[in-house]
């Protein structure tokens, strides 16, 4: 595993111990240019050059440069980067829409890159669902036919695929529009079709390439909420691409920040915001109010003895998932401490007003 990931993502490591790895990506490169194999070590399949060396060679561009990460079952892994950072190439490598130059991709403990073209088609049909920025709907098919299209490719019988497609259309809230054509739908509705289509084969890995970037801000927020709702029900393993830092913060379990083809930092939203790896990352996180990201669970002091527990009983109670922003009003009532209580009523710890106010400046500084 990548050292950087270990160093900066303790939470993810915790999760790794409890959940299995679905997708693992090791030292992945995609170099565009006339002779990308030039950068590979003699005969081997590994790129040994550094990113700068490739750029310096002139006519080669490292779109993806030595990225490594793991995605665990049920996790939302967001790759965030500005345009040209290689994030779209990266997700295309994950579906082998773009063939990586070197590196390895392991999907459910099997080497994905060695799959033959036949196997690749089968994997795409059954294991991977993908959503595209510009929807990728087929204009001469109706909504129902579009959603059922992946099933048709698999040779699923007509009535069965209609049944499953109808269920998916209901899931994304488009019931009643089945016989419409893509051009008759708004952008947001079209993307709902795209989401339904990608889910109707019940994929193990769900890839979303800037799914909401082409939409208006209001519709975007609406679809983000919808997306989280669907994910709560289905618990897919997700790789989600975005250029919008706020979107990444909102939906991610973990975020990888990409720049010039390389991953700059991987971590939970909190880690990215409170401990940016460099100035580049800090530029994004600087704008985010910490009080909206830091949760009670991040802030609390665990109870040391029974005595504390008795005290804590009398304090105002907050949920571990409450953000700092939601906790602050409690202090306005005059108390100097709040208790963090989980769903079953057990007291987990307390947060003092000093701790809360200090953390407004960021944890760990």
Partner 1 sequence: MSEWHVDAFKDDDATRQSTQDKAREPSWHRVLKQLDPRMIQWLILVVAAIVCFVLADRFPAIQNYPVALTLPIQAWLNAAMEVFVDAVGPAFLLLSWLLEQAMNGIQAMLLTSPWVLTIAALSMLAYFAGNIRVAILTAAALLYMALIGYWDESMRTLALVLMSVPLAVLFGFLLGSLAFLSPRAEQVIQPLLNFMQTVPAFAYLIPALILLGFGPVVGLFVAIIYASPPFARNLLLGLKRVPSETVEAGITSGATPAQLFWQVRLRSATSTLLIGLNQTTMAALNMVIIASMIGSSADIGWEVLSTMRKAQFGESMLAGLVIVLMAITMDRITRAFAHKMGLPKSVRALGPLHRRIAGPAVTFVAVIVAIALTAYLWPALHRIPEQWIVNAAAPLNAGLNNLITTFSDQIEQLKRLIAFYFMMPLRLGLSQAISPFTWGIEFTPTLRMLYAGGATALAAFLFITGRWPLAIVAICACTVAYFGFSQIPWLVIVGLVALLAWQTGGWGSLLMSLAGMGFILASGLWPKAVLSIYLCTAAVLIAFSVGVTIGIIAARSNAVSTVIRPINDALQTMPLFVFLIPVIMVFGIGEFAALVAIFLYAVVPAIRYTEHGLRNLPASPVEAAVAMGCTPFQKLINVELPLALPEIMLGLNQTIMFSLAMLVIAALVGTSDLGQVIYTALSSANFGAGMAAGISMALIALIADRIIQCWSENRKKALGL
Binding site for partner 1 (CB under 8 A): 95, 97, 110-111, 114-116, 118-119, 121-126, 128, 130, 132-140, 149-150, 152-159, 181-183, 194, 197, 201, 207
Question: 247: closest CA among 291, 280, 277, 214?
Answer: 214
| Rounded Cα distance, 31 and 260, in Å | 12
The answer to whether residues 206 and 198 touch, using CB atoms and an 8 Å cutoff, is: yes
**Residue number, 183 or 233, with CB nearest to partner 1:** 183
Expressed in percent and rounded to 5, the helix, strand and coil fractions of the chain are 40, 25, 35
**Rg of the Cα atoms in the chain:** 23
**Which residues touch 311 (CB under 8 Å, ≥6 apart)?**
none
| Rounded Cα distance, 61 and 75, in Å | 31
> Helix H segments across 47-182?
51-56, 87-94, 117-126, 143-154, 158-171
**Residue number, 197 or 236, with CB nearest to partner 1:** 197
Least distance to partner 1 from the beta carbon of 96, Å?
9
The half-sphere exposure of 154 on its side-chain side, counting CA atoms within 13 A, is 18
Least distance to partner 1 from the beta carbon of 216, Å?
19
Degrees, nearest 5: CA angle 216-139-239: 55
**Residue 357 token pair:** 């106010």
**Residue number, 107 or 351, with CB nearest to partner 1:** 107
**Residue number, 41 or 121, with CB nearest to partner 1:** 121
**Residue number, 137 or 340, with CB nearest to partner 1:** 137
Q: Is 346 exposed, middle or buried (0-12, 13-18, 19+ CB in 10 A)?
A: exposed
**Residue number, 118 or 314, with CB nearest to partner 1:** 118
| Rounded Cα distance, 177 and 169, in Å | 9
330 three-class SS = helix
Least distance to partner 1 from the beta carbon of 97, Å?
6
**Residue number, 76 or 156, with CB nearest to partner 1:** 156
**Residue number, 184 or 278, with CB nearest to partner 1:** 184
Least distance to partner 1 from the beta carbon of 260, Å?
24
89 three-class SS = helix
**Residue number, 185 or 299, with CB nearest to partner 1:** 185
**Residue 323 token pair:** 């953000």
**Residue 270 token pair:** 């909190």
The half-sphere exposure of 93 on its side-chain side, counting CA atoms within 13 A, is 29
Least distance to partner 1 from the beta carbon of 200, Å?
10
């Amino acid at each position: 595993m990548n050292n950087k990931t270990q160093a900066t993502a303790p939470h993810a490591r915790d999760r790794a111990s409890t959940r299995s790895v679905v997708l693992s990506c090791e030292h992945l490169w995609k170099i565009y240019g006339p002779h990308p194999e030039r950068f590979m070590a003699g005969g081997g399949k590994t790129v040994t050059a550094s990113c700068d060396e490739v750029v310096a060679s002139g006519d080669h561009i490292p779109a993806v440069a030595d990225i490594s990460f793991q995605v665990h079952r049920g996790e939302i892994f967001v790759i965030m980067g500005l345009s040209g950072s290689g994030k779209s190439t990266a997700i295309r490598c994950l579906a082998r829409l773009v063939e990586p130059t070197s590196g390895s991709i392991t999907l459910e403990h099997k080497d994905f890159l060695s799959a033959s073209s036949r196997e690749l088609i089968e994997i795409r049909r059954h294991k991977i669902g993908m959503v595209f920025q510009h929807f990728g709907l087929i204009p001469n098919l109706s909504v129902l036919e579009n959603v059922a299209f992946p099933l048709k490719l698999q040779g699923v019988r007509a009535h069965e695929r209609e049944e499953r497609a109808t269920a998916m259309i209901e899931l994304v809230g488009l019931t009643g529009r089945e016989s419409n054509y893509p051009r008759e739908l708004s952008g947001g509705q079209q993307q709902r079709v795209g989401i339904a289509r990608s889910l109707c084969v019940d994929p193990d890995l769900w890839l979303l390439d800037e799914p909401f970037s082409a939409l208006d801000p209001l519709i975007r927020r609406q679809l983000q909420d919808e997306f989280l709702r669907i994910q709560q029900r289905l618990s897919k393993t997700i790789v989600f691409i975005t250029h919008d830092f706020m979107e990444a913060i909102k939906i991610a379990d973990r975020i990888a920040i990409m720049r010039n083809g390389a991953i700059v930092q991987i971590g939970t939203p909190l880690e990215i915001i409170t401990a940016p790896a460099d100035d580049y990352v800090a530029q994004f996180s600087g704008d985010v109010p910490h009080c909206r990201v830091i949760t009670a669970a991040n802030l609390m002091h665990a109870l040391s003895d029974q005595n504390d527990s008795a005290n804590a009983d009398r304090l105002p109670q907050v949920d571990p998932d409450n953000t700092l922003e939601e906790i602050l009003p409690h202090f306005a009532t005059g108390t100097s401490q709040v208790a963090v209580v989980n769903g079953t009523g057990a007291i987990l710890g307390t947060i003092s007003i000093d701790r809360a106010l200090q953390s407004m400046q960021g944890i760990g500084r």
